[in-house]
Amino acid sequence: MNAPLHAALPPLDPAPLATPFDPAPFVARRRRLLERMAATGGGVAVVPTAPEKLRNRDTHYPYRADSYFWYLTGFGEPEAVLVLVADPAHPEGGRSLLFCREKNEEREIWDGYRHGPAAAQGAFAVDEAHPIGELDAQLPDLLGDQPALWHTLGVDSYWDERLAAAINTVRTRSRAGTRAPGEIRDLRQVLDALRLVKDASELALMQRAADIASLAHRRAMARTRPGLAEFQIEAELFHDFRLRGADGHSYPPIVAGGKNACVLHYVENNAILKDGDLLLIDAGCEVAGYASDITRTYPVNGRFSPAQKDVYEIVLASQLAAIDTIKPGATFQDPHAAALRVLTQGLVDLKLLSGDIDGLIESEAYKPWYMHRTGHWLGLDVHDAGDYKRPVEGGGSDWMPLEPGMVLTVEPGLYIRPADKVPEALWNIGIRIEDDVAVTAAGCHVLTSPPKTVAEIEEVMAHG
C-alpha cells in the first residue's frame, strides 16, 4: 500500500494527452476474446457501440461509446459495430471486422471528423473495415455455418431482433447446405471476466484518472467555506477535471452538506453550506473511458467538532483495515468484513449499539447507520463489469478471489440521522471515505490520494 499524500501532487504533465493512439492493447484484447470463443467451439461475436441519445428536441447528450465496444476497439464514433469471427487457422485466432460510418465531407463540416472504413482499418488494426450500411447484408454470410452467435442477449431488444433477423436469413439458405448457428452464447459473461483484470495500459489510464481526481478533491477542500453553495464546490471539481485533461465526470457527483450527506445518492447539489456542518463529496473523473471514484468528508469551517472527529476516526480506521486485507488470494468479501468489524465496534463505542460484536454483525444491527457494501469493481464503468462470486464444485458459489490487475473501491461510511436515543451531537453526521485500490503481486496499491487524516484535512483547509 502506498503512503498517504501529505503534499500536493505536482502539476500533471499534459504530454500523455498528445500521445498517438496505440491499437496494440485493443488487438491483444480481441485476441484473448477469440481464444475464449475458440476454446468453447468458436463462432461469431457481434459487438455494437452505443447509439446517440437525444437530450431534448435536436440536442444530443455528449456521446460516449459502449464500454464493451470501446474495450475491444478504442473507436469512439457512433454508428459502429465490431464483428469477430473465431478461426484457429488465422494468425490472430480469428478475423476482426469493423463496420463504421463512411466519410462524408458535408457532415464533417457540421459534426466533426469521421475516419471512414479505409482509414479506420489501419488506425484501429482491424482485418477489415466496411460501411455500416453493409452490415445487415453481410451478417448472414458471416453467420453461415458457424456453431454459435456470441451476443449480449436481453440487453438491447433492438439488437436481439436485428440479429434474430440475420439468423432467420441464414435459415432460408438451408436447402443450399448452409447451416445457421445452433447456439446463442453469452458474450457479456466472457467479456466481463476479461475486463475484471486490467492490463498495463488500463492501469496507467486509471492512475491518471485517479491523479486528476485527487487534485480536484484537494482543490475543492481548499476552497470550501460556509456560505458557498454545494454547486459552487461542484464547479471547482469540474474545473480541475477539464483543466487537467479528463473527459469530465465519471458519474453524477454528490456534493452533500450537513443532513444531505445522510442521503446516499444525493445529487441536487443546491444547498448552502453551513458553519458547523460536514461536507461529503463523492466525485470522480473519466480519462479515455476509465473512471476514478473518490469520496472525502470534511468540515465546512475547516475544523472537526469532537463528535465529528470521533465518527470520522472510526470510518477512517475501518477503511484502513479494509485496505490492509487486499492482496492476491484474499476475496472480494474480505475488505467488507474487516470494515464492518471496525464500524460495529465504533458504533458500540459511540453508545449507539451494545452487545457482542459478532452477534451484532450477524444480526445486522449496524444497518441503520451503515447500509451499503464497502466497495465495487472499477474500470470502464464506475460499477464495473465482473462477477462478485464464482461457482464452486458441488454447487453454490463463493466470493471472487482477488488477483493482480483487479481494481476495486474501498468506501465504508456511517450515516447518523436524528433519532431517539441518538445523542444530538451526532445528528446529521454523514461520513464516507473512498479510495480506488489496485491489486498487485505484492499486495495492493492505492491509486487515489487526496488528504484523508484529520490533521491533513485541517491543514489544507487552514492554508487554502
449496524: which residue's cell?
366
Length of the chain (residues): 464
- Does 415 participate in catalysis according to the annotation? yes
Active-site annotation holder among 239, 372, 417, 445? 372
- 8 A C-beta contact, residue 188 and residue 424: no
Long-range contacts at 368-371 (CB < 8 A, ≥ 24 apart)? 368/419, 369/343, 369/414, 369/415, 369/416, 370/340, 370/343, 370/412, 370/413, 370/414, 370/415, 371/264, 371/415
Beta bridge pairs of residue 56: 59
DSSP letter (8 states) at residue 437: E
The DSSP string of 90-140 is: STTSEEEEEEEPPP-HHHHHHH----HHHHHHHHTT-SEEEEGGGHHHHHH
Measured CA angle at 36 (ends 34, 37), to 5 deg: 60
Q: Which of 55, 57, 265, 463 is catalytic?
A: 265
Q: Which H helix or E strand runs over 60?
A: strand 59-60
Residue 130 known to be catalytic = no
Q: Is 432 designated active site?
A: yes
Task: Name every residue whose Cβ is closer than 8 Å to that of residue 405 and which is 6 or more positions away in sequence.
Answer: 197, 198, 199, 203, 438, 439
The residue annotated as part of the active site, out of 208, 432, 435, 436, is 432
Per the CB < 8 A criterion, the answer to whether 225 and 273 are in contact is yes
Q: Indicate which residue of 66, 77, 277, 293 is catalytic.
A: 293
Distance (Å, whole) CA 121 – CA 130? 9
Find residue 445's DSSP bridge partners.
438
Which is catalytic among the residues 68, 290, 366, 415? 415
Which one of the listed residues 108, 383, 398, 459 is annotated catalytic? Answer: 383
Catalytic hit among 411, 435, 436, 456: 411
Instruction: Write down the catalytic residue from 211, 219, 376, 435.
Output: 376
Instruction: Kindly write down the DSSP assignment for every residue of 359-407, as one continuous string.
Output: HHHHTTTTTTT--S-S--B-SSSSS-SS-SEEE-TTSSEEEPBP-TT-E
Q: Quick check: is 282 catalytic?
A: yes
Out of 58, 105, 106, 424, the active site residue is: 58
- Options 66, 202, 334, 434, the catalytic residue: 434
Catalytically annotated residue among 66, 211, 236, 282: 282
Angle between the N-to-C axes of helices 306-324 and 333-349, in degrees from 0 to 180, rounded to the nearest 10: 150
3-state secondary structure (DSSP) of residue 179: coil
- 383 has catalytic annotation: yes
Q: Which secondary-structure segment (H or E) carries 431? A: strand 429-432
Is residue 293 annotated as a catalytic residue, yes or no? yes
Positions annotated as catalytic residues are 58, 265, 282, 293, 372, 376, 383, 411, 415, 432, 434
